Amino acid sequence: MKNTLSNQHNRLLLAGFLSLAVVMGIGRFAYTPIFPYMELDHLLTPFSAGLLATFNYIGYFIGALGARYVPQQNRWLYIGLLANVVTTFLMGMLESYTLWAIFRLISGITSGMVFVIVSNLILSRLNQTGKMYYSGYLYGGVGFGICISGAAIPTIQSLYGWEGAWVSLGLLSVVFMVAIFLGMWKQGNSDGSASLSSQIRKNRHPEVVQNQRKAKYALYISYTGEGFGYIIFGTFITAMLVQNPSFTFESSYVWAIVGVGAIPSCLFWSWLGTRLSSIRALKWAYMTQIISILIPVFTDHLLLTLLSALGFGATFMGITTLTLTLAKSLEAAGPNLVSGLTAAYAIGQLLGPVVAGTIISVNDFAIPFMISAVVLVAALITINFIKDQKGDMSNAVRKHQSH
């Protein structure tokens, strides 16, 4: 019986890992290394590229907010995955800005929906079993998708153009999707979810929910700032490098380094959260990300640029892991806080590319990256407000997670 439960647990994590690789690592973030090639073909400008990214993030906001009204069932997960993969294919098969905007919007809606469904299902199960540390395995799927797409795109693009890059990544997504469909998501969630919320309520630790309103507000503000701050780097770093004649290294490989940093980062930050506390780990993650974003502003040295990409990759999903893990511990029942935070994150994301794209059109990349860093500093300061009269809320969370 124990082995059966362990196998189900592993299948659930693997299915979630692959789901996030499809809708986030590929469906959402593959745009970053591909759109500079679309710009070189004079199909996009910095402003239109930023606007296209914003359509995706508007969709992400809609999907994340709407996910709270979607039954947390496998059927909706599969619908979201299928629609997301189809839009990845179509990006390379049709050449129309209007259609691209529609495809990126649908891709964003499905990625937001799948992200929330997967997060709620798996984090609830881990919270129930006292294994929240394993959430790092789940979110590593985003980095896995980023790493694969970033490493493969230069070769594919050289042979088949940017169109072939989209289609090839769509084929890869089909492989992952089939693996999920063929049985890695066999856990029924009808009876399990019925007993889940009651079990979690029984396991609530009274310290965790003290002053939770203040903690929630601080998480909303900081996570919105993170959405705005990280997405400017995440959208424009490859374009910045492509347009720098002194930087001769393939920019897509820099994006692959982002994925390399992201794959183990969630495990690392989850571990650090159990050692220091979630709040202290969040502060270190924000500081590391701020430094990483500022490096390309002041130097285009190859090694420092790669360290910047590695540091960014090592933090942006780590911050998501820590924030949502903390949110799930504060929430202790129901999906609304995870969905709400993901929607707040999406608001920051949809504003970032428009602001950056507008500035880049009349200036250069340095100013948007510096604005990004300033917003992240504000998010870091906000984290300090997550405290309780009897001590840091994160200490209560850490005690709760150890039980």
Structure tokens at 199: 């079990």
pLDDT tens, the chain, 403 aa long: 555 556 666 777 888 899 999 999 999 999 999 999 998 888 998 889 888 988 998 998 899 888 878 776 678 888 999 999 999 999 999 999 999 999 999 999 999 999 888 888 777 777 666 666 677 788 889 999 999 998 999 999 999 999 999 999 999 999 999 888 875 555 544 334 433 344 334 444 433 434 677 778 889 999 999 999 999 999 899 889 988 888 888 888 999 999 999 999 988 998 898 888 888 999 999 999 999 999 999 998 999 999 999 999 999 989 988 888 788 777 544 457 877 888 888 889 889 888 998 898 888 899 999 999 999 999 999 998 876 444 444 444 444 444 4
Q: Which residues pair with 391 in a beta bridge?
A: 388
Give me the phi and psi of 304, to 5 degrees please.
Answer: -65, -35
Q: What is the pLDDT of residue 3?
A: 57
Q: How far apart are CA 356 and CA 51, in angstroms?
A: 10
Distance (Å) of CA 127 to CA 77, 119, 322: 21, 11, 13
Distance (Å) of CA 311 to CA 66, 83, 199, 237, 371: 32, 32, 38, 13, 18
Q: How far apart are CA 379 and CA 221, in angstroms?
A: 7
DSSP of 126-141, one letter per residue?
HHHHT-GGGHHHHHHH
Q: What is the pLDDT of residue 169?
A: 96
Q: Which residues pair with 29 in a beta bridge?
A: none
